[in-house]
Amino acid sequence: MRLPVIYSMREFAEVGELMSYGMSLPGLYRDKARLVGKILSGTSPADLPIERPTRLELVINLKTPKALGISMPQTLQVAADDVVE
Residue 79 backbone phi and psi in degrees, to 5: -75, -15
Residue 55 contacts by C-beta under 8 Å, 6 or more apart in sequence? 23, 24, 27
62 and 84 Cβ atoms separated by less than 8 Å: yes
pLDDT tens-digit series, residues 55-69? 899 999 999 999 989
pLDDT tens-digit series, residues 22-74? 988 888 899 899 999 999 999 999 999 998 887 899 999 999 999 989 999 99
Distance of alpha carbon 57 from alpha carbon 9, whole angstroms: 9
Whole-model pTM: value is: 0.76
Is 72 part of a structural domain of the chain?
yes
Would you place residue 1 in the very low, low, confident or very high pLDDT band (cuts 50, 70, 90)?
Answer: low
Q: Per-residue pLDDT for 84 more than 80?
A: yes
Domain coverage including residue 14: 6-84
Taking alpha carbons only, the member of 55, 74, 59, 52 closest to residue 6 is: 59
Is 78 part of a structural domain of the chain?
yes
| Counted domains in the chain | 1
Mean pLDDT across 7-30: 90
